Amino acid sequence: MFSTSTLQTIYDNLLEIVFYYGPKLLGALFVWILGLWVIKLIVRALQLLFDRSKTDASLKSFLLSLVSIGLKLLLGISALGMLGIEMTSFIALLGAAGLAFGMAMSGTLQNLAGGVILLIFKPFKVGDLIHSHGHTGMVKEIQIFVTCIVTPDNKTVILPNGAVANNEITNYATEGTIRVDLEFGIAYNASIEQAKTVLLEVMKEHPRVLQEPQPFVGVLSLGDSAVNLAVRSYVKPQDYWEVYFDIYEQGKKILDAHQIEIPFPQRVIHQAK
């Protein structure tokens, strides 16, 4: 059994601990509870701000989580510091771990940064026809790390956002229309005016070709074997490939129907006497 002096010593030590750490513990607990409440208000205010600015759902969720975790980490460090715990070494360790993690995940972090840039500045949106990193297709999904596009042959291409954000992006849908550039070659003895008329007729009758801006046919170049006509029409981006193939097919048929020759490559040879 403990002696009276031993019990008194334990009692005195407990009182000292309670009086020394008790106020600090209560203060740290109060700061923690108050801090969580303030963080909740900040996150809610940011959410309302993002909703009003129509921020992308993926970016909104990521930024809210990032802000919440970062503020809670700072709050935890502050609360532990109030208890008298030395945080300098812990912060240094945390910084070293963050540096090592960043170096190990450099490619992933680059894609993350690229995704944030794409979602904030919005050089394209879901449904746009774009060309990026050597691929052309309709944007199916924009995620934090990757962008998914569907090519004309119905293949899904997953592009890392870091590469997309750091390379040229051609957005065919920004203006709401896209021009379909085609080329037809007719014989030198064929009527240019007749060929222009029938090709314009094909484009005016096609339901997907827009009549404003108006379709256009003109002489593009004088080739070795043919007069090359530039055939231009404007369509909505999602109708590009349908119009592209239809106009080539229908153009060939109507030129044949009007007996306008599409010549094969020819070469004239002069023999010296």
Task: Say if residue 98 is in the same domain as residue 129.
Answer: no
Task: Say if residue 90 is in the same domain as residue 134.
Answer: no
Residue 210 lies in a domain: yes
Find out whether 137 and 130 touch, Cβ atoms under 8 Å.
yes
DSSP class per residue in 104-133? HTHHHHHHHHHHHHHHHH-SS-TT-EEEET
Whole-number Å distance between alpha carbons of 85 and 225: 87
Whole-number Å distance between alpha carbons of 164 and 133: 6
CATH number of the domain within which 47 lies: 1.10.287.1260
Task: Say if residue 74 is in the same domain as residue 146.
Answer: no
Whole-number Å distance between alpha carbons of 235 and 25: 69
Half-sphere exposure of residue 85, counting CA atoms within 13 Å on the CB side? Answer: 13
Closest by alpha carbon to 199, among 178, 213, 182?
A: 182
Q: Which domain holds residue 134?
A: 123-171
CA angle 214, 219, 222 (to 5 degrees): 160
Task: Say if residue 167 is in the same domain as residue 253.
Answer: no
Closest by alpha carbon to 70, among 111, 107, 104, 35?
A: 35
Residue 68, burial from CB neighbour count under 10 angstroms (0-12, 13-18, 19+):
middle
pLDDT, position 245: 93
DSSP class per residue in 212-224? SSPPEEEEEEE-S
Q: Could you report the per-residue pLDDT of 214-273, keeping only the tens digit for each?
A: 999 999 999 888 999 999 999 998 888 899 999 999 999 999 999 999 887 766 676 666
Find out whether 202 and 251 touch, Cβ atoms under 8 Å.
yes
Task: Say if residue 157 is in the same domain as residue 79.
Answer: no
Q: Could you report the per-residue pLDDT of 128-143, keeping only the tens digit for each?
A: 889 988 888 888 888 8
Closest by alpha carbon to 138, among 154, 121, 123?
A: 154
Residue 110 lies in a domain: no
Task: Say if residue 26 is in the same domain as residue 98.
Answer: yes
Instruction: Flag whether the pTM goes above 0.85.
Output: no
- Indicate if the pLDDT at residue 193 is higher than 80: yes
CA angle 123, 124, 129 (to 5 degrees): 135
Closest by alpha carbon to 163, among 110, 213, 210, 208?
A: 110
pLDDT band at 79 (very low <50, low <70, confident <90, very high): confident
pLDDT, position 75: 81
- Contacting residues for 199 by C-beta, under 8 A, at least 6 apart: 184, 217, 229, 231, 251, 254, 255
The domain total for the chain is 3
